[in-house]
Structure 1
């Protein structure tokens, strides 16, 4: 081959490489708000990406060529991945491009599975979940039966418990293991946080209730569970409840709860029959804190003294879902809650519930907490726009 032929061959290779690079499918993600956004999860389905298998799909920063941390999710448990998740970082009022690339398993960036949940048979039948900010738990049928059989050690509540952590690494398995080994108690703070948040029959942090006239009704413990996913970006799981009564109404309820990296609020996606409205509540404990609601932005919050510190709890929903809020106080123990009244549309309702503990250093004042809620609500109303090009 002559020098001229070699040069022509090399030029053609360069041109083909450039064409191949330029024709990669690209995501263009647009942020229309005047704030930087880095803690929102993008869900990419097989149908949206026009692929049959997500297992070899990677997301690459088009500018830096850096591969992004992703997570694959099998939503229905059929063994096939349905969605690919990642969290882009988009500056205020700007767009950013990400290439869709083919990668091997060894090419994928490694990240710790900070978003975690599991069934806990060693503590009757709790179901617990956490991320790098917060942790929660709910109670199952065995815990309910223990109470109904008048035995010690049970819990009868469909409220949501808050585990107050002040470290970013996972604590669920560690706290349970050390508690039952007698090494330490998760009811005492050994430097990582503790469980000293009382739920009782209250709504805790996000339990639901149906209001009939001036009375709130709610379910008992969950009856079935299924873990959907855990990983570096999201944990999610399914809970089912026995039908429950609200005066003359029969309520059918199941839910998918998810918690994403860097978020203080869990997402509650409720499937519900029997009512066109439902209330999500946060307990008022000693009724010595401040209930504040922002109907225009779709949230209600409670900032309160808690032991020797303070804690903020909240419910947030979209403007089309959030109808109103109520500071409901009653003399009976654990029945005082701040409620968000929510619209049920086509037997579905979605809201977000969570908290911030002052000792975690995340939000140290009521003003900081409410500013976070306003930003969260603003992002909820103005989701990142994702286009495939």
Structure 2
């Protein structure tokens, strides 16, 4: 009887070990001969819920091959995202099952700032960005492009604190008072709170002006850039801990006399990446039209790479105050689809001085946009005081990034 009991227990144990109904196995494969550490992958939540037969209130955990929990996020479009590390030409296996997740550090987040003329600003563990809103447009300031904020010495969020210091009403009132009696003290107080000064974790030292800034896309009918002004509406769809997503809709553009063309952008920033994924669509566009992603040039002969064949552009920006020891900002864009042409295009002298705030031109990657399609590209930046130190390292990062978006990790669920 004792032997029979042991036999039954062994069979039940073995059955439990092979019963995979309560575990989803995710295999991530890398088609490239380069290591891909901590790259965000996606799995449809419906696939997981159906296979695990999860109740509506059930929680899940994502485990690596060692059984350790991996941070994850469920996105607005019902995907489970998590960082996967895969060897060159290799595979990595993760499992998803019901369970209680650990607390994960927030790596990526952002906010709409009505108190700062409708900015939308966001960041991850490496870098921060912002785009401008309707309140800024109403002031008459001409700012069409993305802004870059540098970040170092921390992987924690910094943007909220920077705005709080810059916009504190009591401090602003004190500065205004001091300007009347002690301008030097007023300037010192301003420097102590301004996000244009490095207080140990980076600053805003990138100049956008009336240009495409750090990677904005724009239609180019007849070879002329139609600059999109500030967004009309914003909707933050994801807000961490691993992904920030915002949907921006713009006022109608005038394209060849048609003033009904409306641009929509969905911008996504993931933890661990220097680049934002951006999906652009133009409603009511009547014909195939060139579209360009552009990076402003602040030197007529600056360090530019425009590589259409390999799908990326880069520029080494001198920052807005070259005498203030702000280093260099590396800016770039990468393209999963074929780029028709990549080049630097300098402004005529009159346009440079009268319309573009003294900027010298753009480096552009130009493609054709088909009506009803989506234009997908990646744009972003790094800083030579942070993790990427040299133009050569940035160009290598961008070349590799372009290869990755053209050869994405493949995800198999069973």
TM-score (normalizing by structure 1): 0.89
Corresponding residue pairs, total: 369
Shift of 1:381: 1.3
Q: What is the alpha-carbon distance in structure 1 between the residues aligned to residue 23 and residue 58 of structure 2?
A: 18
> Which residue of structure 1 lines up, in the alignment, with residue 342 of structure 2?
325
Q: 2:410 aligns with which of 360, 380, 385?
A: 385
Alignment-derived partner of residue 27 in structure 2: 28
Match for 2:79 among 80, 83, 86? 83
Aligned-pair CA distance for 1:45: 1.3
CA distance in structure 1 between the aligned counterparts of 2:130 and 2:199, rounded to whole angstroms: 20
- Segments of structure 2 that go 5 or more residues without pairing to the other structure are 172-191, 353-357
Separation of aligned partners in 2, 1:54 and 1:254: 34
Give the aligned CA root-mean-square deviation in angstroms: 2.0
d(CA) in 2 for partners of 1:54 and 1:378?
Answer: 40
Residues 253-301 of structure 1, C-alpha deviations (whole Å, 9 max, x = no match): 0111010111111111111132532111101023352121111110111
Distance 2:331 2:290 in 1: 22
Distance 1:72 1:96 in 2: 21
SS class of match (1:364):
coil
- Maintained 8 Å contact 1:46/1:54: no
> In the alignment, which residue of structure 1 is the partner of 2:276?
266
2:90 corresponds in structure 1 to 94
- In structure 2, relative to structure 1, the CA distance for the partners of 1:337 and 1:49 (3 Å cut) is same
Residue matched to 1:348: 374
Q: Secondary structure at the match of 2:252?
A: strand
The answer to whether the 8 Å contact 2:211/2:296 transfers is yes
Residues 99-124 of structure 1 show CA distances to partners (whole Å, capped at 9, x for unaligned) of: 23112xxx213221110111011212
SS at match of 2:367: strand
- The Cα shift of 1:47 comes to 4.1
Which residue number corresponds to residue 198 of structure 1?
207
Q: How does 1:1-389 map to 2 (within 5 A)?
A: 2-21=1-20, 24-49=23-48, 51=50, 56-61=59-64, 63-75=65-77, 82-103=78-99, 107-147=100-140, 155-166=141-152, 167-181=154-168, 182=171, 184-250=193-259, 251-273=261-283, 274=285, 275-306=288-319, 307=322, 308=325, 309-320=327-338, 322-330=339-347, 331=349, 332=352, 333-334=358-359, 336-345=361-370, 346-360=372-386, 362-389=387-414
Structure 1 distance, partners of 2:46, 2:290, is: 33
Give the Cα–Cα distance (whole angstroms) in 1 for the partners of residues 255 and 383 of structure 2.
Answer: 33
Query: What is the CA distance between 1:247 and its match in structure 2?
Result: 3.7
1:231 offset after TM fit, Å?
1.4
- 5+ long unaligned stretches in structure 1: 76-81, 148-154
Q: Deviations over 1:114-149 (max 9, x none)?
A: 1011101121210001101111111111111122xx
> 1:162 offset after TM fit, Å?
0.6
Cα gap change, 1:14 to 1:69, in 2 (>3 Å): same
Distance 1:335 1:157, change over 3 A: farther
Separation (CA, whole Å) in 2 of partners of 1:116 and 1:199? 22
Deviates more, 1:266-275 or 1:131-140: 266-275
Give 1:152's aligned residue.
Answer: none
CA deviation after TM superposition for structure 1 residue 249, in Å: 4.4
Deviation at 1:22, TM superposition (A): 8.4
Separation in structure 2 between the aligned mates of residue 56 and residue 23 of structure 1, nearest angstrom: 13
When residues 288 and 260 of structure 1 are mapped into structure 2, their CA distance, relative to the original with a 3 A threshold, is same
- Of Structure 1 and Structure 2, the greater helix share is in 2
